[in-house]
Amino acid sequence: MFRFIKQKKQAREPERLQRQPLRLPQHIAIVMDGNGRWAAKRALPRSAGHAAGAETFRRVATYCKNIGIEYLTVYAFSTENWKRPADEIATIMELLEKYLHEALEKMERDKVKMKFLGDISVLSPGLRELIAETEELSKKFDGVQVNICLNYGGRDEILRAAERYAAEISKAEVSAADDHTTGTLTEEAFSRYMYTDGIPDPDLIIRPSGEKRTSNFLLWQSAYSEYYFTDVLWPDFNERELDRAITAYQSRSRRYGGL
């Protein structure tokens, strides 16, 4: 079950609360929330908030690579975000396209792998082509892997996984090694039908902006993740805030239901 970490307000962080390099989480996931409120507080259009949030993503991804995080997963656009105004959706997609063009130019230098999680079939042909090119180039590298959840929803992912499993069962395409011959579907076997196949579950999930809900993010994978909530809006989130989240994570004892 989930265990939540609530950030405590204090004047300053005690010196003893220092990030421990040898106990870093292998996989950090972040709900990039608060762009619109950040812009509203400054009497700016929401597009300005999304642009600022994109810069924060670049900075945080670079920091994760530099300190040795192996996987970073970010919630960029949910299956429910299509309900937003068309001009806002267009801005988000334009920013993503701009970022991918820049990433392709720097991937050889930065050695950052990228993978997209979600149903990208509804995206524009140009964006789908960029995504395919980015993922193909990523196969050459062994560095940090950045997973971008795009048109992603946790419930949708589980439904799609169930549909894929059922389709393979009906065609008798599932290996006997998956224990399906005995009529038993294991968690490990079912996980292979998820978007995150081959990716370890997140150790730490960070939710900025003061909201305290999962928002349909990594529902299957977060069963034993540690949660960290902060009131900081995503565009204001920085390396120091990430260190606070990691420090809080390192103070926890993860027992996975045991003693």
pLDDT tens, residue by residue, 219-228: 999 999 999 9
Q: What does the pLDDT read at residue 114?
A: 95
Does 181 have pLDDT greater than 90? no
pLDDT tens, residue by residue, 42-96: 999 999 999 999 999 999 999 999 999 999 999 999 999 999 999 999 999 999 9
Q: How far apart are alpha carbons 121 and 152 in whole angstroms? A: 12
Q: What does the pLDDT read at residue 222?
A: 97
CA separation, residue 196 to residues 26, 51, 148, 218 (Å)? 15, 27, 11, 9
**Residue percentage of the chain with pLDDT more than 70:** 87
User: Residue 173 — pLDDT band, cuts 50, 70, 90?
Assistant: low
Q: What are phi and psi of 44, to 5 degrees?
A: -110, 160
Sign of CA dihedral 20, 72, 47, 102: positive
- Pick the catalytic residue: 33, 156, 201, 203? 33
Does 11 have pLDDT greater than 50? no
Q: How far apart are alpha carbons 252 and 254 in whole angstroms? A: 6
Cβ neighbour number for residue 30 with a 10 Å cutoff = 27
| Eight-state DSSP code of residue 201 | P
Residue 185 gets the label, from left (phi > 0), alpha (psi -120 to 50) or beta, of beta
Q: Which single residue is written with the structure tokens 């996984």?
A: 161
State the average pLDDT over residues 96-118: 90
* Helix or strand run (H / E) with residue 136: helix 125-138
Q: What are phi and psi of 195, to 5 degrees?
A: -60, -30
Active-site annotation holds for 151: no
- Pick the catalytic residue: 81, 216, 236, 243? 81
State the average pLDDT over residues 157-172: 90
What domains are defined for the chain?
24-153+202-250 (3.40.1180.10)
Active-site annotation holds for 35: no
